[in-house]
Amino acid sequence: MTPARPVLLVVVHSNTGGTLQMAQAAADAAAAEPGVSLRLLHAAAAQPADVLAAQGYIFATPETLAAMAGLMKDFFDRCYYPVLECLNGRPYAALICAGNDGTNAARQLERIVTGWRLKRIAAPLIIRTGAQTPAEILAPKQIGPKDLSSCAELGATLAAGLAMGVF
């Protein structure tokens, strides 16, 4: 029997498309690794069973009001205790899309997954769109190719490590 491939779960929320493009770039690169199965779920759809069934994670959220987006926080609120102590040592990476900061969302996310005892494989990747005025903030976002390739690199690295069992 062929052994099951490890699952890399990407959990994403996005209001104006920036975070989704980042998550998709990471997911596409990860999916190119034949040794892993890739799952991408919206934060509102992701359940504790999805978290348990994965061996590695990418969490992708915008920063809003100096915090991770509410629906991503809701994902952690719903899943935190049902899977606590079951994920110890599994690898993760974080993608943050922000206007001009993003550090607080990254800090909050890291603190939560530290409670899950997840192992960070890289510093949080924060992409800043520069949106500052209400019109800019509400407009659909277009993440540039250089930033998308950083997201892809992170996804590929996590997937390759999972496939080789190095984490």
Cβ proximity to ligand FMN: between 100 and 149 the closer is: 100
Cβ proximity to ligand FMN: between 19 and 55 the closer is: 19
Pairing of strands 67-68, 37-42: unpaired
Chain residues binding ligand FMN by CB under 6 A are 14-20, 62-66, 97-102, 129, 131, 137, 141
Provide, rounded to whole angstroms, the least separation between the CB of residue 68 and ligand FMN. Answer: 10
Q: Among residues 153, 166, 126, which one has the least CA distance to residue 32? A: 153
Cβ proximity to ligand FMN: between 107 and 119 the closer is: 107
Cβ proximity to ligand FMN: between 77 and 101 the closer is: 101
Neighbours of 165 (CB within 10 A): 9
Provide, rounded to whole angstroms, the least separation between the CB of residue 98 and ligand FMN. Answer: 3
Provide, rounded to whole angstroms, the least separation between the CB of residue 53 and ligand FMN. Answer: 25
Dihedral sign (CA 125, 131, 137, 141):
negative
Provide, rounded to whole angstroms, the least separation between the CB of residue 151 and ligand FMN. Answer: 12
Neighbours of 81 (CB within 10 A): 10
Show the tokens assigned to 42: 């919206």
CA separation for the pair 154, 20 (Å, rounded): 15
